[in-house]
Structure 1
Amino acid sequence: MSDTGSGSEITGGGTDVLDRELEKLLNEEAIEPGDHERFSHYVPKNKIMESALSGKAVKALCGKKWTPGRDPEKFPVCPMCKAIYEKMKSE
């Protein structure tokens, strides 16, 4: 429930699966501009570590791209990331 994930690697599916899930969620739930900035997002742990070392941006399950740097515990979990993650866990 943070930028670093839940402790397990996110596996399965490809970007096409995530893109379809994101499109489906966007159609079901209106996200206002700037909403991504108010949430912590799910990103594979190895990508967080790579970003910390390289300074390159990461891509969350919901599609948000940014360079992590804030304390994810201070923000609620992104509802789109959470929904996509839960769907991936159940498959």
Structure 2
Amino acid sequence: MQTDTIERTETDEQVDDGTDSDRPKFFHYVKKDRIAESAVMGTHVVALCGEVFPVTRSAKPGSPVCPDCKRIFEQLKT
């Protein structure tokens, strides 16, 4: 199973000025073959942790990863 990490975005119409420190932004693990489709078509993807969202950004090395996705991914590797 191939996965990649992507950021979960909010579905409401709020402007992100970077000051929302009470809620950290995480990237999630999703099936790799769904990322391009979501980014182009705007369809939603389902992360390993169950979050459902459209792809809007890709993770850079060192980006924060959802702890639940990471735990599930590590369990799948064993």
Which TM-score tier does this pair reach, normalised by the shorter chain? 0.5 to 0.7
2:54 to 48, 58, 67: 67
Which residue of the other structure, out of 21, 46, 49, is the alignment partner of 2:33?
46
List runs of 5+ in structure 1 lacking aligned partners. Answer: 4-33
Structure 1 residue matching 2:30: 3-state secondary structure: coil
Q: How does 1:16-27 map to 2 (within 5 A)?
A: none
The TM-score normalised by the length of structure 2 is: 0.63
Percent sequence identity is 42
The Cα RMSD (Å) is 2.2
TM-score, length-scaled by structure 1? 0.55
Deviation at 1:60, TM superposition (A): 0.3
Q: Does 1:87 align with 2:75?
A: yes
Q: Displacement of 1:64 after TM fit?
A: 0.7
Structure number with the higher helix fraction is 1
Equivalent pairs, count: 59
Is 1:76 aligned to residue 64 of structure 2?
yes
- CA distances 1:33-87 after superposition (whole Å, capped 9, x unpaired): x85x610000011010121232101110001111111342274000100000010
Q: Which residue identity does 2:40 align to in structure 1?
A: L
Cα distance in 2 between the residues matched to 1:70 and 1:51 = 11
